[in-house]
A and B are shown apart, each in its own frame.
Chain A
Amino acid sequence: MQRAFRRAHRSLWLVLAFLIPIVLGLALMMRPTGTHEQPPVPLDDAAKSALEANQ
């Protein structure tokens, strides 16, 4: 049983040693870049007057 345990340990880590970096690498490569902040959009005249009216 001891050797069976060692075999299971070796097989498991051979799989995990490939699988984990692949998942980690893909997740990091595919993640959205940038700051998630949208550039400010200038207000048009109608929006400006509506804002001033509210203030």
Chain B
Amino acid sequence: MSVKYVPVIWNRTKLAYDAVVLATVGAYLGIYLYVAPQFQTVTMPIDWDIYKAQAFGTCVFFLLTFILCIGPMARLDKRFLPLLYNRRHLGVITCVLAYFHVDNILGWYNAFSPINRYVSVFIVNTSFDRFLGFPFEILGVLALLILTILAVTSHDFWLHFLKPTLWKFLHMGIYLAYALIVAHVALGALQSAAGPFMTTAVGASVALVAALHLLVARKEHLFDTQESPMDDSGTWMDAGDPTEVPDKRARIISITDDERVAIFRNGKKLSAISNVCAHQNGPLGEGKIVYGCVTCPWHGYQYRVEDGRSPPPFTEKISTYRLKLEDGRLWLNIEALPPGTYVEPVVAPILAEGS
């Protein structure tokens, strides 16, 4: 969080994250380019430019696979949340590596053409009516275009400018980019792949990414379709046994229509706020109370649990909800109050440890 414009809010975690990513990328490229060739027994070695293009291309593919696995893995297991923290930098690095791949490809395959090498990519192969032989280069160009748009708009400036919902829909373009890259690889590099390694790796990547996303989609769908009983007025929803809400943590309730609400316990006090972080729509209910404030598990944005406001000097605010206790049950009023509205917490004893 920052109260004034800062291009990148560097901190130790981000620096460590980026250092690990750059070291891993460097190690991958170093092994691919300098170590692996020593173990190859080919009579005709591949040209250095092609080799570099392959190294960058495969690196981009594996990085993109990893990026696409982070989201669902963090939804399935909180231990993966730290990977999510600086995922945008990972995406930007992937985009930069994709440009290195393109530079090496154009510097070799399109360098000997009398036509401008950037133009030749689009006109040397126009077999759009064929499956094998389809100009797979175009698929790569489209994927690169999407990666570039996402990298450029990954900054918080664009997140604030476009608003989180539109920004998130725009950044779903990463799935389209991935599909285009798989097609680009399948119709390009895999057509002449010598061994089974790349074919197996691409197949495993697709299976892993698709399985993780479908698993999370099913989990979310099942949660969304859970129905809690309502009272006769239709405005209060049964939110369960208050003693079962863990201290400093939340129970997430899917309310009618659309949104989710997080009911937090802070000692003996219970409060309900929107489950949606104002920053990037992160799931606040999966975070915890740190120094008296609900802390988003994605990027650490904080809100006071009683009024949904970020502590000064920050200005973010989210909707709050009313709670009441009746016959030992907790009831949630499903009508959202304006963001930042103070609501007196409900006092309910915490379940004694071991009881």
B contact residues around A26 at 8 Å (CB): 131
User: Closest Cβ of chain B: how far from A32's Cβ, in Å?
Assistant: 7
Q: Is the CB of A27 within 8 A of B258?
A: no
Known: A31-B132, A31-B190, A31-B191. A2 touches B183 (CB 8 A): no
Q: Which of B131, B165, B186 is in CB contact (< 8 Å) with A1?
A: B165
Chain A contributes a number of interface residues (CB within 8 A of B) equal to 26
Interface of B is mostly: helix
Q: Which of A1, A20, A32, A36 is in CB contact (< 8 Å) with B206?
A: A20
Q: Is the CB of A16 within 8 A of B175?
A: yes
* Cβ contacts A1-39/B at 8 Å (1 or 0 each): 111111011101110110111011011101110001000
Q: Is the CB of A6 within 8 A of B258?
A: no
Give Cα A46–Cα B215 distance, bound, in whole angstroms. 69
Contact of B12 with A by CB under 8 A: no
Known: A5-B169, A9-B172. A28 touches B190 (CB 8 A): yes
Give Cα A36–Cα B182 distance, bound, in whole angstroms. 24
Give Cα A20–Cα B187 distance, bound, in whole angstroms. 12
Give Cα A9–Cα B210 distance, bound, in whole angstroms. 12
Give Cα A21–Cα B179 distance, bound, in whole angstroms. 10
- Which chain A residues have a beta carbon within 8 Å of chain B's beta carbons? 1-6, 8-10, 12-14, 16-17, 19-21, 23-24, 26-28, 30-32, 36
Shortest 10 CB-CB contacts between residues of A and residues of B: A27-B186, A10-B217, A17-B210, A13-B213, A24-B186, A1-B165, A3-B258, A31-B191, A6-B220, A23-B183
Q: What are 27 contact pairs spanning A and B, CB under 8 A?
A: A2-B275, A3-B224, A3-B259, A5-B281, A6-B217, A6-B221, A6-B224, A8-B169, A12-B172, A12-B175, A13-B210, A16-B179, A17-B214, A19-B179, A20-B182, A20-B206, A21-B206, A23-B182, A23-B183, A24-B183, A26-B131, A27-B183, A27-B186, A28-B186, A31-B132, A31-B191, A36-B192
